[in-house]
Structure 1
């Protein structure tokens, strides 16, 4: 199983919750817009390393469970191939049914593991996202920004902006983090995926006469 270092994809849905931070200002105040890279700020937060570690551990647990299921399938499949020709029809049918059930179990577990891994990631990210939102709001209020936009994503909200409008470092400093000190990005583990499982129902054997 590979680990994809593309936090942007996993963050897309979660980041929508704070794409825009609105601050109440006097109607006579000029409109002031800032922007930040949510991905960059999160990668600088110390929580990112812990999230990455926990995701890797959880992903490994799922992979180990899936490997156990697949090993059982392979072992029984090989035994079936060797002995199928000499098995009575009822026994051979039972063995084929058992392999089909194991195959289905592997496929269902893989789908469940993908969902479970996504849910685990969202759970681990939520405290960091909540903390980030609070600090975005604070920086906006303290510096008079009417809006703060998120410049990340496949379809970024911000297409162009002056450097002085980037409040990422202000947000980090607000959290007591030195910008650029942590270059680690939260990794998104790929869901465990076994090799293609052959369909047991397609096994051809010679019937003993």
Structure 2
């Protein structure tokens, strides 16, 4: 699962929903001053990003281990079925097939549940970093008289198509957090979506179809 995409989508939603308004009553009377920041650029340089990626990978590995265990159990059942199929009565065959298909369904349900759990884990891990980023954007905006601050990254769909360089407060936000601005370090891809092992399951389905014939 790509953490860059996660960061973009989550941040775009957070910043757009709340709207990064740093206007005070005094600023409201002052000339309109609009700024912008690339939240992906800033997040990539926050130390929290590495920890988030590490924790997310560990959690994904845990879920994959459970999925692998369930799959291995089904694989074992299917191999035993293949070895004894010739001597099984139709009733026993039907019972074994039903059991394996139930296990396959359980695996699929676990996979869906695990994906949802992984997304919730991402949101939980990201929240402190998002809150910190939002707080510092607000402070920088207030200190520099910006009435509004937009996200120039926009989760793949930039909200800002053209603006003067002096309106970019990204480096100011980084400095406010005590981070020396630099080129955004590439964030490695996060955990890949789990895929449900299906060799045994598909084999069981074929066997059932064959039996119906």
TM-score by length of 1: 0.89
Q: Which residue of 2 aligns with 1:34?
A: 35
- Aligned equivalents of 1:103, 1:206: Cα separation in 2: 18
Structure 1: segments with no counterpart, 5+ residues? none
Number of equivalent positions:
204
Does the CA contact (< 8 Å) of 1:135 and 1:171 recur in 2?
A: yes
Shift of 1:7: 1.3
Residue number among 191, 194, 197 corresponding to 2:196 in the alignment: 194
Q: CA, structure 1 residues 182+163, in 2 after alignment: closer, same or farther (shift >3 Å)? A: closer
Q: CA, structure 1 residues 199+119, in 2 after alignment: closer, same or farther (shift >3 Å)? A: farther
- Aligned equivalents of 1:206, 1:198: Cα separation in 2: 14
- Aligned equivalents of 1:131, 1:186: Cα separation in 2: 22
- Aligned: 1:131 with 2:132: yes
Does the CA contact (< 8 Å) of 2:108 and 2:196 recur in 1?
A: no
Q: Which residue of 2 aligns with 1:147?
A: 148
Q: Which residue of 2 aligns with 1:159?
A: 161
Shift of 1:181: 7.1
- Aligned equivalents of 1:27, 1:10: Cα separation in 2: 31
Q: Which residue of 1 aligns with 2:100?
A: 99
Q: Which residue of 2 aligns with 1:7?
A: 4
- Aligned equivalents of 2:94, 2:176: Cα separation in 1: 67
Q: Which residue of 2 aligns with 1:17?
A: 14
Tell me the secondary structure at the aligned position of residue 31 of structure 1: coil
Shift of 1:11: 3.4
RMSD (Å), alpha carbons = 2.1
Does the CA contact (< 8 Å) of 1:117 and 1:191 recur in 2?
A: no
Q: 1:14-60, CA deviations, whole angstroms, 9 ceiling, x for partnerless residues?
A: 43222431112444411111111111111110111110100010001
Does the CA contact (< 8 Å) of 1:10 and 1:188 recur in 2?
A: no
Shift of 1:161: 1.2
TM-score by length of 2: 0.87
- Aligned equivalents of 1:9, 1:107: Cα separation in 2: 24
Q: 1:41-93, CA deviations, whole angstroms, 9 ceiling, x for partnerless residues?
A: 11110111110100010001111111111111112112212211210222212
Q: Which residue of 2 aligns with 1:80?
A: 81
